[in-house]
Amino acid sequence: MDKLRASVLMRHEVGLHARPSVKLTKLAKAFESRIDLGLSPDGPWVDAKSIVKVMATRAPKDSTIYFRAEGTDAKAALDALVTLVDGDFQDGR
């Protein structure tokens, strides 16, 4: 089965830090699909559901975040994650 892919520019002032990472991994965990995150289109990839791994990417402000997903809800997962990052992690606050 092919992996779906998406990418989005992260503008968050301090990069992919604690608060954004908590939101991102929580959202990723809401989906069944396997979801990977990377800072380049060719990886290396980390599990987007793991805050330990996501924080370890040390993604700074203005990085492009790449996602790939595989599973029944892969499309919905990518849409939701891109919306979160694009909306600067402002989920309803």
Partner 1 sequence: MDDRTHRAAHRIEGRSAAPGIALGPLVRLAAAKHDIRQYRSAAEEHKALVDALAASHVDLSALVSEVGDAEAEAILSFQIALLEDDNLAAPAFALITGGEVANRAWSDAIAREIASYDGADDPYFRARASDLRDLRDRVLRHLAGEADQIVPSGVIVAAEDMPPSMFLATDWRDGGLVLRRGSPSSHVAILARSRGVPMIVGVDVDHLENGRDALLDGEAGLLIVDPDTDTRAAYCQRHAEQSEFRQAFASFSGPALTASGELVRVMINVTGLAELEQLDPAHVDGIGLMRTEFLFQGCETLPSEEEQYQIYRRMIEWAAGRPVTIRTLDAGGDKPIKGLTQTGDINPFLGVRGVRLSLRHLDVFRVQLRALARAAVAGNLKVMIPMVTVPEELDRCRTLLEQALEDLRREGQEAQMPPLGMMVEVPAAALTIEDFNADFFSIGSNDLIQYVAAASRDEPQLADLARPSRAVFGLIGHVVNYADSSGRETSLCGDLAGDPEQVAALLDQGLRILSVAPRALGPVRAAIARYSGSGAFSSEVEPGSRQENVSNQESRAPFRSDRTGKGSSA
Catalytic residue among 11, 17, 23, 34: 17
Residue 59 φ/ψ region, left for φ over 0, alpha for ψ in the -120 to 50 degree band, beta for the rest: beta
Is 82 a binder of partner 1 (CB under 8 A)?
A: no
Q: Looking at 1-9, 10-18, 33-41, 70-78, which segment touches partner 1 (CB under 8 A)? A: 10-18
Q: Which of 9, 26, 40, 72 binds partner 1 (CB under 8 A)?
A: 26
Q: Is 44 in the site for partner 1 (CB under 8 A)?
A: no
Supply the DSSP symbol for 23. H
Where does residue 51 rank: exposed (0-12), middle (13-18), buried (19+ CB within 10 A)? middle
**Phi, psi dihedral angles at 68 (to 5 degrees):** -135, 145
> Which positions are catalytic?
17
The footprint of partner 1 (CB under 8 A) covers: 11, 13-15, 17-19, 21-22, 25-26, 47, 50-53, 55-56, 58, 60, 88, 90, 93
